[in-house]
Amino acid sequence: MDIKSLIFDMDGLLIDSEELYHKASFDICAIFGKVPTDEVFTRCMGQKLAHSMAVYVEMMDLPVTPDELLSMMHERMVRDINDKLKMMPGATDILKFYHKKIPMALATGSSTIILDAVLKKTQMAEYFDVIVSADVVERGKPDPAIFLHAAKKLGVETHEAIILEDAQNGVIAGHTAGAYVIAVPNRFTKGADFSKADIVVSNLFQAREQIELLRR
C-alpha cells in the first residue's frame, strides 16, 4: 500500500482522556441531580463536544442550554487536562517513529479550547504537519468532513491515508472518507461495532506493526 499520510484521532487514542470526560460528565450532571446513562455516552462517543452537550441537555432534560453546559465542561476539562492527563500506551512511540517519515495529521472531535490545553500539556504538536479541531467543520463524526479536511490540508487523497481511531463514529467517518481505517478500541469503546474498520488491533504498538506490514 502506498501510504502517503497518517491521520490520528486524539481522545481515547493518543491521550487517556475518556475517563476524564466520564468523571466530568458525572460530576456536572450531579449538580442537576442527574446521572448520565450508557446510552448518552454511546451517542456522544467520537462526536464534537458541542454536539455532545446538546445530546446531554436533550436526553437528560437538563435545566441549562447546550452552550452553558459546554462552558462548564470546558472549564472542568481544561483543569483536569492540566492536572491529570496522560498519553495512551504506545502513543509517544508511534508519533516519534513516523515523525518526518510520513506526513501526519491530528483530526480531533474536541474543541479548540480542549485541543490547545492538550497540546500544551503533552507537547505533541511538534509531531504533526496538520492539526485540526472539530471547530473547523460544520458536522462532526460520523460525518467524514474532518478527515477530508485534514487530508486536503496534507495535500493527499483519503485513499492514500491511514486513519487511526478508537471510537465507532470515528471509524465510520474514516471508512466513509475512503481511507484505510485501523481501530484501536480502549476500555470505554471496546464493545462498539467496528465492522467498518479494515483491521482492529489492541493497542498502538500493534497499530504500528500493522502500518509497517502495509508499507512493505
126 and 175 both lie in a single domain:
yes
What does pTM read for this prediction? Answer: 0.92
Residue 135 has pLDDT above 80, yes or no: yes
179 and 117 both lie in a single domain:
yes
* pLDDT tens figures, 104-127: 999 999 999 999 999 999 999 999
CATH of residue 33's domain is 1.10.150.240
For residues 197-206, average pLDDT: 98
Whole-number percent of the chain with pLDDT over 90 = 87
98 and 164 both lie in a single domain:
yes
Domain of residue 51 covers 18-84
Q: pLDDT grade, residue 98 (50/70/90)?
A: very high
Domain end position, chosen among 59, 84, 109: 84
Grid look-up 476500555 returns: 187
User: Residue 44's pLDDT is what?
Assistant: 83
Q: DSSP letters of 167-188? A: SHHHHHHHHHHT-EEEE---TT
Q: pLDDT grade, residue 38 (50/70/90)?
A: confident
Kindly report which listed range (10-14, 23-27, 44-48, 172-176) carries the lowest average pLDDT score: 44-48
94 and 147 both lie in a single domain:
yes
User: Residue 46's pLDDT is what?
Assistant: 65
User: Residue 48's pLDDT is what?
Assistant: 83
Per the structure, the count of domains in the chain is 2
- Contact partners, residue 44, CB within 8 Å, separation at least 6: 51, 52, 55, 56
